[in-house]
Structure 1
Amino acid sequence: MLIWIIFAAMTGAAVMAVLWPLGRRAPALTADTAGATALYRAQLAEIDRDLGRKLIGGAEADAAKAEAARRLLRETATESVPAGESEPALRRRRAASAIALSCVPLLALLIYGAYGSPSLPDQPLAARMKANPEQDFELALARIESHLAANPTDGKGWSVLAPVYLRQGRFDDAAKAFANAIRYDGATSEREGGQAEAQMLAAGGVVTAAARASLAEALKLDPGNPRARFFMAIAQEQDGQVPAAIAALKALLADAPADAPWVATVRARLEGLERSSGPVDAIASLPEAERMIAIRGMVDGLAARLAEGGGSLADWSRLIRSQATLGDREAAQRSLSVARQRLISDQVTAAALDDLRSELGLQEAAR
């Protein structure tokens, strides 16, 4: 409503600007009758003097006075009429005013219709603010990043940014952000656990040596940290310690609040491990010598499957770790070399394999 009041005021101002010069009366130009009036008054006085000297008769004097009076009245009547304002000029001025009063708003509407957007609906402020929350998020993220670029020692700022990177799938950036938060604002169990998750996801799901160190620190600060306990169980699973991993996941579920959002994830992981643990349980019940033969058979089967092609970083890491645990270091070193050739060559994979080699103390042939 306010905008239309403003438009009306602006239109009125424009109309007044056009009509003001037309409405002003031109300076009155009165007829120059002062001299003629004085002349006729003098004629009347002269008639009176001629009558007094008996130069004219009474009838002649009256006739002369009547004629002079008519002329005087005619001339004095013209003194009140402006000489510069004729009737045609007045009509033209009124017509111009009427045209201006009509054309100014009409011209404004025509211009707006040609160059404006009268068909667009209005856009209330609340609707505009809700229109693109993703853009608002990107702007907020850019402001935080700009702040941290200017203030790199702001540990709390890094602590805010790290989980955002983690949710966006920027795992390397998340790991660096968690590390900066720990460096500049102190270690907490949540930050250490977040760093471990970022390091593990950056390595394609392998719980690397760096991730294990972060998990150990998180559990040292808070033994009940559910995230750290869950990923430590995954580390045990990747080490081939499936019974220990199952026990760790069951303990985590026993301690979980009923409404914890991560319960479903833990339960699904546990069910998957229990379905695949049948052979493991059977092996565990065998005598020592037979159990070792069975374990070696499982490891050899995994090696044969991977030798045929495929396999993820987690599969190759499990094989290398199992071979090293069984004391077959030469086989572990060969598997490590094959994994480097088979897997996608990127910084994440290379770093994960380097961590695994350092953790297990393996030596590779010069590359």
Structure 2
Amino acid sequence: MMIWAIFAAMTGAAVFALLWPLSRGRAQGFADAADARSLYRSQLKEIDRDLARKLIGDEEAQAARTEAARRLLRAAGDEADPTGETEPSLRRRRASSALMLSIVPLLALLIYGLYGSPGQPDQPLAARLEKAGPQQDFAIVLARMEAHLAANPGDAKGWALLAPIYLRQGRYDEAAKAFAAAVRAGKPDAELYAGLGEARIMETGGIVTAAAREALAEAVKLDPKSPRARYYLALAKEQDGDGEGAQAALAQLLAEAPADADWSGAVRARLERMQADAGRKAVAALPEAERQQAIKGMVDGLAERLSTGGGSLPEWSRLIRARTVLGDKPAALQAVKTARERLADDKAALAAIDALADELALKEAAP
């Protein structure tokens, strides 16, 4: 209720500030018209003295007398109507002022009642933080968690909940600290150690540091099947130059993965990149004749695999390019045709195949 009284007082003050100048009559030059006539008569006498002393001429004296007479007449008229305003006009102005003073606040209240929420109570921050409903702002929830952990640094469960959030937000340094705090405050947990290792790797731009390896090793010690820890330890092998060991580790991880594992696609893609890199390096080290034969064998192997069914757009594009580079245009044309048949339900893929065919001068494949 106090806030409404304050708003009403502020509105009234604003309206009065605007209407106060309008409520006053015309300001008079003198407080009394008699004073004005006395002043102007003194001016006439002074004009006569200046004329007698030859300080001004006859024309100038006449002009000065005329101006003084005009002022004297105006002063005499002001005495009859000091304010220059009639009573009816004064009443009208006062009525309009009172009308404005009442209409402006009423109009504001009417608009707020129609479009505002006068019956809605205020929502202090502390009260909002106490309500953890599904519609609550995530930023407020996160702030609440951070405030709670700042006051309770030994809450292992809280740190375990906050650390993955930091990791998904890309706040890797804070995620590593949160995982470390959860490990210190709680019981040994493979997921926490694996998360700590991942956060430390992301913090260094993908490099598996010694600190990250220690955390990953602890995760594998607690859970030998931890997929996240095994994946990053395989990357550590690749980083150390043990490409074969890294590929073997990833292949084993995929072989043991559940059928519905959502991470298997990323692991398989990384293994295929490793194998492709290893194959390119091995082929590059061969003599020219053997290198060409090895490349042809790799392309034939890709073509045979795709001929059995399926195949993605990148795989078909790679096969078409390889056939063209090897100078086998008929095989390239056949690859374009087969790719269009296999990817017939994907309009974007068909457009990409057509663009590739145009680029490689394989326009015969266009329908």
TM-score bin (small chain): 0.3 to 0.5
Between 1 and 2, higher relative CO (CA 8 Å, sep ≥ 6) is seen in 1
Larger Rg: 1
Provide TM-score, normalisation by structure 1: 0.43
Provide TM-score, normalisation by structure 2: 0.43
